[in-house]
Amino acid sequence: MTNNPRLLLWLAVAMLALLNYSAWNADYGTHTDNNPAAATSSTNPAGGAPGTDLASQVPQAEKNVSAAPTAPGANASGTAGSGAPGSGAADSGTAGSGGPADATAGAIAGASAEATSDAGSVVHVRTDVLDLDISTRGGTIVRADLLKYPRVKGEAAPVRLENQDSAQSLYLLQSGLTGPQSAPSHLDAFASEQSDYSLGSAGELRVPLTWSDDHGVRVTKTFIFRRGNYRIGLEYDIENHGETPWSAAPYAQILRNDPHTKRSMFNVESYAFHGPAMWNGAKYHKLDTTDKDDSHLSADVTGGWIAALQHHFVSAIVPPKDEVFKYTLTTGGDQYRFAAAGPAKVVTPGSSAQLHLTLFVGPKLQDQLEATGPELQRVADYGLLTQLAKPLFLLLNWVHGITGNWGVAIIFVTFLLKLLFYPLSEAGGRSMAKMKQLAPRIKNLQETYKDDAEKRGRAMMELYQREKINPLTGCLPNIIQIPVFLAFYWVLLESVEMRQAPFAFWIHDLSSRDPYFVLPAIMAAAMFIQYKLNPAPPDPVQAKVFMFMPLVMSFMFAFFPSGLVLYWVTNTVLSIAQQWNINRRIAAADARKK
């Protein structure tokens, strides 16, 4: 085994691929990509009833408190306390009779109330990238279609995130204000001057909703959309024309039913992580809704965000970075509610105030995510190899900007990496070529000392020293390939930029497997040629293992993203060309010596 460590390296590659695959399943296998029904966009989807699982998980005492119309947190209609989370660490007197804990329970109970209450009318909003429905009941985003991302390539139906198409796919982005007086929560009625808004040729679109009470308080809740952007600004303009101070705190929450469904090896998206995630100002967390601690999360955070993830897409809530917000996660069955509640703000009589939040609904485009919130680009999660995968993605993105084709970008970046490591590959190739020349002598030593392993090893080491050969030198290029390969793997899986990206001919989606398994077959042939160019193992068992290794590896890669197989094929072909050139030059040099 010592004289031919390539076997160990190939086994290491296979083992690392298997371990990485297992880690992927552990991190991303909890849920599957359960995109809602791919129905074409509707300006007024039927109000599907949300599930009642969350409500059933709330202790009865808390339900009674939260549902009581006379609770201190109740608004003029008697419903604020049933749906608004607490206002955070800085809040001492916001919704709910017992502070944030009771208000959180109330929000869950409120999910059940929404199933039977009036859903309000719908304001239809269309930009160049988004098609949304915003309910006048609380200003909740009840549908969000991503116009530039078809659910199935070649079909018209777009990916749909927020929706209330059915109880199983319920996904709402709710927001509002809560306070000791009447305040417009996500359960209250707003008014809109228009039922339809379109960005048209403008660069910015503002969609205002208004609410007022009987005491002279007026709140204008404005959604702000910008061309080409999935970031949504949310502003509250508060005017107090009354005679007493008015206090309110902003909050936003994601209510989602995210059922477990069956995974399929034929669909890479079925293994992607679904569920809540957060940045707590210092660390990125993917939260497990079945974990005891995660499912009862309550944390005061400055400079963070909360999000609901699925493969390639995200909905996120980004509070102002300099304010303390309380994050709470509550779960029940397949449903969870993830909320961020801010500190209360007092508006004195005759004055006004403005509150801000930022929302994000769309694909995991890293430049837009980075501009939206601190470290929000982490939702495109490259795992342990982020430090290598991120610059690799940036390089691929730069080349793609020049070529306009992600497949060409993969080939070109592979060529650049080959150039970068050329000196090391050259040294390794020379070592392999010399090893091939020494193969008969090595085999003779093995036969001579077949009954004495110690003498055989000593004789082979003396031969290596005389010929100035280090067998491990030929393995270094393969060792370097392993982390690069795994980084490519994560970049292809997590980068929405490569979702449904075509290459050429039959490859219409580099993030999915080759539909006809042509690239894996080419990969097997290329690896077999590479095997023939390198020195054959003296041991017959090892020789047979190496002979079948291309077939085994190509079978493993058959269900990997075709972009990853394209990288491996390109790298193997370049290695073949390099090794053939090295073998030719060494043979020519030996011929001249003779």
In a domain, 311, yes or no: yes
Regions in the chain scoring below 70 on pLDDT: 1-119, 261-272, 425-439, 467-478, 535-543, 589-590, 593-594
- Amino acid 59: pLDDT: 30
- Amino acid 267: pLDDT: 55
- Amino acid 477: pLDDT: 64
- Amino acid 35: pLDDT: 42
In a domain, 204, yes or no: yes
Name the residue type at position 28: Y
Residue that finishes a domain, picked among 378, 397, 422? 378
CA distances (Å), origin 262, targets 33, 287, 373, 440, 494: 10, 20, 33, 54, 20
Domain count, the chain: 2
Q: Domain limits at 372? A: 56-378
- Amino acid 178: pLDDT: 93
Residue of 91, 76, 148, 140 lying closest to 114 (CA atoms): 140
93 in the same domain as 20 = no
- Six token digits for residue 33: 């990509």
178 in the same domain as 317 = yes
Residue that finishes a domain, picked among 346, 378, 410? 378
22 in the same domain as 89 = no
127 in the same domain as 271 = yes
- Amino acid 374: pLDDT: 93
343 in the same domain as 224 = yes
Give the C-alpha separation, 232 to 249, whole Å. Answer: 19
369 in the same domain as 400 = no
Angle 501-30-271 from CA coordinates, rounded to 5°: 25
- Amino acid 436: pLDDT: 65
- Six token digits for residue 132: 């949304």
582 in the same domain as 458 = yes
Pairing of strands 275-279, 335-341: unpaired
369 in the same domain as 393 = no
- Amino acid 553: pLDDT: 83
In a domain, 340, yes or no: yes
In a domain, 383, yes or no: no
Instruction: Work out the angle between the directed axes of helices 60-67 and 100-116 (0-180°, nearest 10).
Output: 80
Q: pTM for this structure?
A: 0.75
- Six token digits for residue 584: 């030719």
The DSSP output letter for 189 is: B
- Amino acid 234: pLDDT: 97
The DSSP output letter for 183 is: -
Q: Are 95 and 106 in contact (CB under 8 A)?
A: yes
String of b and e for 355-370 (b: at least 16 CB within 10 Å)?
A: bebbbbbbbbbbebbe
241 in the same domain as 100 = yes
339 in the same domain as 482 = no
Residue of 501, 485, 480, 492 lying closest to 393 (CA atoms): 492
Q: Scanning the structure block, which residue is given the tokens 């050969």? A: 469
Q: Are 227 and 199 in contact (CB under 8 A)?
A: yes
349 in the same domain as 229 = yes
In a domain, 46, yes or no: no
370 in the same domain as 284 = yes
In a domain, 49, yes or no: no
- Amino acid 511: pLDDT: 82
- Amino acid 470: pLDDT: 65
- Amino acid 40: pLDDT: 35
Residue of 90, 106, 253, 259 lying closest to 186 (CA atoms): 253
In a domain, 384, yes or no: no
Residue that finishes a domain, picked among 334, 354, 378? 378
**CATH assignment at residue 115:** 2.70.98.90
In a domain, 50, yes or no: no
